[in-house]
Amino acid sequence: MGHYIEVESGVNVYAEDIGIGQPVVFIHGWPLNHKAFESQIGELAANGFRFIGIDLRGYGKSGKPWSGYDYDTAASDVKAVVDYLELEDFVLAGFSMGGPIAIRYLTKYGEEGIDKLLLMGAAAPSFTQREGFALNMKPKEVDQIIAQVKADRPAFLADFANMFFEQKKSPQFLRWFESLGLEAGAHSTVNSAISLRDEDLRDELAGISLPTAIFHGKKDQICAYGLAEELKKGIPNSVLVPFEKSGHGMNGDEPEKFNTEMIRFLKSSGVKTK
């Protein structure tokens, strides 16, 4: 079942809704959409969970307005979906750029109604290096990505697909993966990259008391493994699950391990730290 939810006047966000049971709200990464999690949908439904896959504004089937690509607005859009679907006792699951958006959701709206937090290859606490933070890309490297997107977005997405996975993927799989990025608005892709470059959530981790799992590929070329270690240090009630053979796309590189660890975490009886 699919829902189109008006998040502001004239802007609709799409959410895929499959299965029954405890909801798991997935927030995708840049510049993808909910289809990136297609290999998780069946596993979740078969294990008594309800998959809620949001296409962020600018991506997939959602509206593509000019503005609203900051994390605050993205979190607000997620809240609109949660409220519209009247979700309770749900798990918030953020992949890559969806990780910091999930964290910002907790900062803005608190933890009421949320059972657990799952961060997967998260672009947090900061995607770029800054004073006191020497991990991951330099801001000028993101500027170079933006220039590549503007010059030849299809060619950039082909290169990006090759960086995304550590294990060899079929040409057909890579074409499919590239197609997800092509469903995004070009301006959306650029504006979200600006947010990835500029947003900083280092001060937002300590307030998280939800049981949290941090999944991260040891060979991630997009969000360095060190980011996961920072998240583990910063979030009090967290566990770090390394994927030794994975790049950024863990669910493509180690699909069986990913699904097994995901279901294990979802079925675990986590307890809040406060």
pLDDT, tens digit, 9 for 90 and up, residues 211-255: 999 999 999 999 999 999 999 999 999 999 999 999 999 999 999
Strand-strand pairing, 238-243 and 212-217: parallel
| Distance between first and last Cα of the chain | 36
pLDDT of 270: 66
Dump pLDDT digits (tens) for 43-84: 999 999 999 999 999 999 999 999 999 999 999 999 999 999
* Predicted structure pTM score: 0.97
Q: What is the pLDDT of residue 128?
A: 98
Instruction: Tell me how far apart the 2 most distant CA atoms of the chain are, in Å.
Output: 49
Average pLDDT over residues 174-199: 98
Confidence check: pLDDT of 158 > 60: yes
Residue 274 has pLDDT above 60, yes or no: no
pLDDT confidence bin for 198, thresholds 50/70/90? very high
pLDDT at 269: 79
Locate the DSSP E strands across 98-164.
114-120
Which domains does the chain carry? 2-267 (3.40.50.1820)
| CA dihedral angle for residue 269, residue 46, residue 37, residue 259, rounded to 10 degrees | 60
Phi, psi of 266 (to 5 degrees): -65, -35
Report whether pLDDT(271) > 90.
no
Using one digit for the tens of pLDDT, what is the confidence trace for 7-47? 999 999 999 999 999 999 999 999 999 999 999 999 999 99
Q: What residues are annotated to the active site? A: 96, 220, 248
Rounded CA gap, 260 and 257, in Å?
A: 5
* Average confidence score pLDDT of the chain: 96
- The per-residue pLDDT for 272 is 59
Predicted pLDDT of residue 45: 97
